[in-house]
Structure 1
Amino acid sequence: MKKEIYLVRHGETLFNYFYKMQGWSDTPLTKKGVAQAQRAGRELANIPFDLAIASDLGRAIHTCREIVKLNRNADQLHIQEMPEFREVYFGSFEGMDGDWVERQIFASHLDSMSDSESPFFQSGFKKTLKFTKEADPYHVAEDYDEFWQRLTPVWDKLRQASAQKILVVSHGLAIRLIAERYGDGQFDLAKGENGAITRVELTDNDVHVKSYAEIHLHGQD
């Protein structure tokens, strides 16, 4: 059994535009965000999807609708909402300015970091989410292990589905975490713009990221 998953980051939202922490909070797509969703839809139009899934957050659902409308199988697709594919939860930092939050998270770690790269990527995702939970005054931000406890069971759910080509619309950090774990270290995870497409191969025993954050698909079988 081999399934192909096309994992798409939602289009730009107001919080993306204002560089605010979004997480489980939700803001609508901007005009640019709708255009990004439609661009992804055109890129995926000829993929005969037999299952369409979105995170249960509005920005992912809207993006998924725009993609499905352009798909060759549009009349057969009904979007399923799956909270497993939500973004990482940022606790009390949700809705706050991203630069300010970054300074709070890394305040006690900046001396060991270079100025040439974002602390977020220098530290690695596991440490960054640990630092975020520690810095969150309420300590309810989602850490690395909590994220994977939520998401890992979804692979078996998809294995049990009859679908072979699956569209999933999710979120920037969630997709980066998937690409980091299952991508064999071959991708530049600092990239990953809104509307980008990541290809995942799901087998009975494995999850493998075949490409990451493409705007135009390359190397299709």
Structure 2
Amino acid sequence: MSVHIYMVRHGETYFNFLHRFQGWSDAPLTEKGIQDGYHAGTRLANVHFDGAYSSDLTRAIHTARYILTNNAASNFSDPTQLPDFREENFGAFEGISGEIVLTTLGAYKHDQFNNFSDVITRYSMADAMNVMAEADPFNLAENHEAFLKRIKHGFNDLLNQHHDGDNILLVSHGTTIRAVAEYFGRRDLSAISVANGAVMQLDLSADNQADIINFNDATTVF
């Protein structure tokens, strides 16, 4: 038993545009972000989805609606909201400029980073999450264990809701998508920043293993 998941990053938000860490905080989509959603929907227009889901954060919900507006092969207009597929909780770093966050993480790792991909490339996504949790003075940021627990629960929920061969739309978040890629054995992909509206295709099996078919795809018409 396996299901085919089209995992899409939400459209650009104002925090994305301003290079701020976003996490569980919610900034609205920019005009470009709205178009990111419609563009992803055009590329996915011919895929018949047996289920349509998003995280419960507004930017993901709205992106999913724009995708479904342009999807001609399915009958969904609204996604089912799954909190398990939220972005990582960055705790005290939410809304903070990326440069400040990277300087703080660099102090903890005794290293220097130009961007978040540097952290993941040199260490791992798991280590990046753990050091952010360690550096958060309010102890609000998720560590990797807490993050992974809810992601596993979310995938098990999808498997329980669907049948073999079902196509599933899942609108989520950049760090979440990268962490999922690492969890399923593709640390090389986790170091790649995911474009707004880009698709990761994965075939998820009943033993909670997955093959990643496509990653960070913002051009293919499926």
- TM-score calculated relative to the size of structure 2: 0.90
Partner of residue 170 from structure 1, selected from 158, 168, 172? 172
Partner of residue 191 from structure 2, selected from 189, 192, 198? 189
Q: Partner of 2:94 in structure 1? A: 94
1:67 CA drift (Å): 0.2
Q: Partner of 1:70 in structure 2? A: 70
Q: Partner of 1:5 in structure 2? A: 5
The letter of the residue matching 1:48 is: H
The letter of the residue matching 2:198 is: A
Which aligned pairs between 1:27-106 and structure 2 lie closer than 5 A? 27-106=27-106
Q: How many residues align?
A: 218
2:108 is paired with a residue whose SS is coil
Q: Using the alignment, how far apart are the partners of 1:123 and 1:157 within structure 2? A: 30
Which aligned pairs between 1:150-169 and structure 2 lie closer than 5 A? 150-162=150-162, 164-169=166-171
Q: CA RMSD in A?
A: 2.1
Identify if the C-alpha distance between structure 1 residues 55 and 30 changes in structure 2 by more than 3 Å, giving closer, same or farther.
Answer: same
Q: Partner of 2:216 in structure 1? A: 213
State percent identity of aligned pairs. Answer: 35
- Structure 2: which 5+ runs fail to align? none
- Structure 1: which 5+ runs fail to align? none
Q: Using the alignment, how far apart are the partners of 1:93 and 1:159 within structure 2? A: 33
Q: Using the alignment, how far apart are the partners of 1:160 and 1:199 within structure 2? A: 19
- TM-score calculated relative to the size of structure 1: 0.91
2:171 is paired with a residue whose SS is strand
1:108 CA drift (Å): 3.3
The letter of the residue matching 1:159 is: L
1:207 CA drift (Å): 2.1
Q: Which moved more, 1:72-81 or 1:30-39?
A: 72-81
Q: Using the alignment, how far apart are the partners of 2:62 and 2:168 within structure 1? A: 17
